Amino acid sequence: MATARTATGSPAVALRPPRACPRLFSTCPGSPRPAALRDLGPQGRPMGSPGPATADYLPGDTMPTAIPRTPGRNPAPGALPLLGHAASMLRDPLGFFAGLPAHGELVDIKMGPFKALVVTTPELIHQVLMDDRTFDKGGAVYERTREVLGDGVVTCPYKEHRRLRRLAQPAFSPARHASYSRIMCEQIARVTETWSDGQEIDILTDMTTVAARTGVAAFFAGHLSSPSLAKTPKDLATVSRGVYRRMIVPAPLDKIPTPGKRRYDRSRARLRSTIGGVIADYRRTGEDHGDLLSMLLATTGDTLTDTELNDAAITFFFGATDTIAITISWALHRVSMDRRIEEALHREVDTVLGDRTAAGHDDLEHLVLTQQIITETLRLYPPVWIFTREVSTDTRLGGHHIPAGTDVVISPYLLHHSAELHPDPERFDPSRWETKGLEPIRRNVLPEILPFGGGARGCMGETFAINEITLALANISARWRMRAVDSAAVRPTSGAILGPSGLRLRAVARDTET
Ligand code: HEM
Ligand 1 midpoint to CA 283 (Å):
28
Residue 389 CA: nearest ligand 1 atom is 16
Atom of ligand 1 nearest to the CA of 156: 40
Compute, in angstroms, the gap from residue 318 CA to the centroid of ligand 1.
Answer: 9
Interstrand relation of 387-391 and 498-501 (parallel, antiparallel or unpaired): unpaired
CA-wise closest residue to 44 among 467, 347, 438? 438
Domain boundaries, the chain: 4-512
Does the CB atom of residue 28 touch ligand 1 within 6 A? Answer: no
Residue 185 annotated as binding site: no
Task: Give pTM, 2 decimals.
Answer: 0.84
Q: Which atom of ligand 1 is nearest to the CA of 215?
A: 30
**Interface predicted TM-score (ipTM) over 0.85:** yes
Rounded mean pLDDT of 46-75? 44
**pLDDT band for position 301 (50/70/90)?**
confident
E-assigned strand segments in 76-154: 106-111, 114-119, 135-136
Task: Convert the pLDDT of each residue in 455-492 to its tens digit.
Answer: 999 999 999 999 999 999 999 999 999 999 998 899 99
CA–CA distance, 234 with 112 (Å, rounded to integer): 36
- Rounded Cα–Cα distance for residues 263 and 412 (Å): 32
Query: Does the beta carbon of 243 lie inside 6 Å of ligand 1?
Result: no
Taking 80 as the threshold, does the pLDDT of residue 124 lie above it? yes
For ligand 1, the distance from its centroid to the CA atom of residue 238, given in whole angstroms, is 19
Q: Rounded to an integer, what distance in angstroms lies between the CA atom of residue 80 and that of residue 86? A: 8
**pLDDT at 358 > cutoff 50:** yes
Q: Are strands 407-410 and 114-119 parallel, antiparallel or unpaired?
A: parallel
Instruction: Identify the band that residue 228 occupies on the pLDDT scale cut at 50, 70 and 90.
Output: confident
- % of the chain at pLDDT higher than 90: 48
Give the distance from CA 139 to its chain's centroid: 21
- 452 ligand 1 Cβ < 6 A: yes
User: Ligand 1: distance of its center to the CA of 228 in Å?
Assistant: 28
Atom of ligand 1 nearest to the CA of 165: 41
pLDDT at residue 245 in the model: 67
Distance 461 CA to ligand 1 centre (A): 6
Residue of 459, 466, 467, 469 to mutate, ligand 1, most atoms within 8 A of C-beta? 459
Handedness of CA 123, 129, 130, 136 (dihedral sign): positive
Looking at the domain that runs over 4-512, which CATH code has it been given? 1.10.630.10
Distance 453 CA to ligand 1 centre (A): 8
Model confidence band, residue 52 (pLDDT cutoffs 50, 70, 90): very low
**What's the rounded Cα separation, in Å, for the pair 291 and 505?**
34
Q: Which of 463, 305, 276, 288 is nearest to 374 (CA)?
A: 463
Which atom of ligand 1 lies closest to the CA of 387?
A: 16
What is the H or E stretch that residue 387 is in? Answer: strand 387-391
Q: How far is 96 from 93, CA to CA, in rounded Å?
A: 5
Average pLDDT rounded to a whole number, residues 80-109: 90
Q: Left (φ > 0), alpha (ψ -120 to 50) or beta: where does 481 sit?
A: beta
Rounded mean pLDDT of 163-172? 87
Q: Could you tell me if the CB of 214 is within 6 A of ligand 1?
A: no
Q: How far is the CA of 457 from the centre of ligand 1 (A)?
A: 8
For 465, phi then psi, to 5°, come to -65, -50
Distance, CA of 341 to CA of 121 (rounded, Å): 32
Mean pLDDT of the residues in the chain? 81
Cβ atoms of 420 and 388 closer than 8 Å: no
Grade residue 331 by pLDDT with cuts at 50, 70 and 90.
Answer: very high
Q: What residue type is assigned to position 137 of the chain? A: K
Residues 6 or more apart whose CB falls under 8 angstroms from that of 242 comprise 148, 260, 264, 267, 268
Q: Does any ligand 1 atom lie closer than 6 A to the CB of residue 315?
A: yes
Residue 384 C-alpha to ligand 1 middle, in angstroms? 8
Closest residue CA from atom 19 of ligand 1: 459
Residues 251-272, mean pLDDT to the nearest whole number:
83
Do the Cβ atoms of 391 and 344 come closer than 8 Å?
Answer: no
Q: Quick one: pLDDT band at residue 202, thresholds 50, 70, 90?
A: very high
Q: Is 163 in the pocket of ligand 1 (CB under 6 A)?
A: no
